[in-house]
Amino acid sequence: MIWQNKSMAPESLLLAAKRILLITHIAPDGDAIGGLLALGHALRRLGKEVMLSCSDIVPKRFFYLPGYPAIVNQASGPFDLIVSLDCSDLRRVGSLYRADEWREIPFLNIDHHVTNTRFGTLNWVEPSCVATSELVLDLCDRLGVTVDADIARCLLYGILGDTQGLRTDNVTPALLGKVMRLLEAGAPPLAQVMDQIFSRRPFNLIRAWEKTLETMQLDAERGVVWAFLTRQARCESGWPDTDLQGMSNFLITADEASLAAVFVEKDDGRVEVGMRARAGYDVARIALSFGGGGHPQAAGCEMDGPLEVAVAQVVAALKSHI
């Protein structure tokens, strides 16, 4: 584990604080929201006043997780501790964080991404963990909080989401033991949680997938596949979000592909990029070069438009990587 201040443990900061702001990253995924909610539940068990936040509106698919309605996208103090969860750099925290006003407040950075820039006052970064939710489970033990059914549901959702249903190559027997612990603590059956994460999609999202797949291109010689969704096509599909919920994971299943990328044009003209890689390739380095981050096999970034320029730049980088 990597610490900026090795004299203080994360549980010490949390136990000493009274009013805590928890922030997870923009364009949140299951691990971001699962870890955020679970830590919020745990801290409230200790009598802490906790505000849960995300700069972006939280997608409705997370209604499945207890505490989801409490997440806000604006925050007002005072706070005596700020905690970021699953954020690889300060830009991922988003516009919610007010650096000038909150500069003197201790900042605890909890994350598992290998590309984390250690931007906190105290950094608890563990790339060997499969998800930030795994770190939060360990933190519950450090805090002396019993993992109940609500916490277990949130953490299991986060772990399954970041491991693609326990299918990534960093899944270990130790992690499976933690999954069993969550199930024994009252989390729903694995089949139910996986169905919620991977098998349920609004019809308009499927229409957005259709329009994205119409743009799909493959460089079979280089093993790179990519697709994009324009702002206009997204509006025509009736899908208001930029999160295509697994499209990049779908593209990387192509037999001819070693690397995949999906580009989605936002309302403000910026472009969200999701990248995936087969084992042996590293898209985290490519994402980092464009101001993003992530894992070797799953990473992303947000770029300035126009869309066609972002596509050309990232695809060229992917081909060079091959």
Q: Which residues of the chain have pLDDT under 50?
A: 1-3
Query: 204-321: what fold?
Result: Diaminopimelate Epimerase; Chain A, domain 1 (3.10.310)
Which pLDDT score is estimated for 242? 87
- The two tokens of residue 19 are 């009013």
Q: In the CATH scheme, what is the code of domain 10-197?
A: 3.90.1640.10
Which pLDDT score is estimated for 255? 97
Q: Please answer whether residues 246 and 285 qualify as being in contact, where contact means their C-beta atoms are separated by less than 8 angstroms.
A: no
State how far the Cα of 123 lies from the Cα of 113, in Å rounded to an integer.
12
Which pLDDT score is estimated for 1? 41
Which pLDDT score is estimated for 2? 44
- The two tokens of residue 213 are 């797949």
Per domain, the residue ranges of the chain are: 10-197, 204-321
Strand partners, 277: 259
12-41 burial string, b = 16+ CB within 10 Å, else e?
Answer: ebbeebeebbbbbbbbbbbbbbbbbbbbbb
Strand partners, 229: 264
**DSSP secondary structure letter of residue 2:** B
Task: Please indicate whether the domains covering 10-197 and 204-321 agree at the CATH topology level.
Answer: no
Q: Please answer whether residues 21 and 75 qualify as being in contact, where contact means their C-beta atoms are separated by less than 8 angstroms.
A: yes
Which pLDDT score is estimated for 3? 43
- 34's CB contacts (< 8 A; 6+ apart) are 65, 131, 133, 154, 155, 156, 157, 158, 159, 161
Q: Per-residue DSSP letters for 229-249?
A: E-HHHHHHHT---S--SSHHH
Model confidence pTM above 0.85: yes
